Amino acid sequence: MSVLSVDNLAKAFQGVVAVDDLSFAVESGEMVALIGPNGAGKSTSFNMLNGQLTPDRGSIRLFGRDITGWPARRIAREGVGRTFQITQTFGSMTVRENVQTALIAHRRRGFDLFSRAVAFDPAAADALLATVGLSEAADRPAAQLAYGDLKRLELAVALSGKPRLLLMDEPTAGMAPGERQALMALVRKIASAAEGPSVLFTEHDMDVVFAHADRILVMNRGALIAEGGAEDIRNDPRVREVYLGG
């Protein structure tokens, strides 16, 4: 059974079609890139997948269960994680406190008032920090992190909910090419671990996409125009047309 199946998904904003008849699946352990030019509909698709937007048409299934139109909180509880930017507020907390806060939030989710009294495992935060390579920065305020390390912290926070599917919309935006490769190599390692999440990500750097995606989905004007491995996509005339204009 697919981790995620999307069928005939569509969304328009005041008559402007953002996503039009989008269908694809993500399998267990896969790292899938969703690429396409600006305005192709990638972020709108992600926002429907995590329940921030309600689709106009179509269906979204998670492990076969129809989650179409579910609120974001409930979809998160079902195991769909996403990366959020660490805001200024969280910047004043230490790196470890950020992960601890996320772990506590996930623990409370879906439980009653009394779950507050349940202590969380302090080792869990340190284990996550080790996973993303931030052990040495654990006691520093998040605001002091270099940009690439902040992205690692955002990843640790996303992983704190033990997602089965991790959605990452432009996770490497603003990073230098070398940093992008390093971050996505780390994500790939996490995804390929036993019990690791499947990953769906958007990315503009084609070197990163070709290096780390198991499979590539190409969107243009709200619909898929190509799908396949790096070689298929590199040689696809429709993809070349969209990216190179001819």
In the complex with ligand ADP, the residue whose CB is nearer, 69 or 110, is 69
Using CB under 6 A as the binding rule, whether residue 244 contacts ligand ADP is answered as no
Q: Token match 């089965």: residue?
A: 164
In the complex with ligand ADP, the residue whose CB is nearer, 16 or 117, is 16
Q: Token match 């506590």: residue?
A: 104
What's the min distance (Å) between Cβ of 16 and ligand ADP? 6
Residue from 3, 6, 22, 42 touching ligand ADP (CB under 6 A): that is 42
Using CB under 6 A as the binding rule, whether residue 38 contacts ligand ADP is answered as yes
Cα distance between residue 24 and residue 15, in whole Å: 24
In the complex with Mg ion, the residue whose CB is nearer, 130 or 173, is 173
**135: exposed, middle or buried (Cβ count in 10 Å: 0-12, 13-18, 19+):** middle
Stretch that binds Mg ion, among 40-48, 72-80, 85-93, 100-108 (CB under 5 A): 40-48
In the complex with ligand ADP, the residue whose CB is nearer, 137 or 168, is 168
Largest CA distance in the chain: 62
Residues 4-33 that bind ligand ADP (CB under 6 A): 13, 16, 18
Stretch that binds Mg ion, among 5-13, 42-50, 156-164, 220-228 (CB under 5 A): 42-50
In the complex with ligand ADP, the residue whose CB is nearer, 126 or 205, is 205
Sheet holding 223-228, edge to edge: 80-82, 165-168, 198-202, 31-35, 215-220, 223-228
Number of residues that bind Mg ion (CB under 5 A): 2
Angle at 196 between CA 120 and CA 217, to 5 degrees: 135
**What is the residue-wise DSSP string for 160-201?**
TT--SEEEESSTTTT--HHHHHHHHHHHHHHHHSTTPPEEEE
Name residues whose C-beta falls within 8 Å of residue 29's C-beta, 6 or more positions apart in sequence: 191, 192, 196, 198
Using CB under 5 A as the binding rule, whether residue 43 contacts Mg ion is answered as yes
What's the min distance (Å) between Cβ of 72 and Mg ion? 17
- Residues near ligand ADP (CB under 6 A) are 13, 16, 18, 36, 38-44
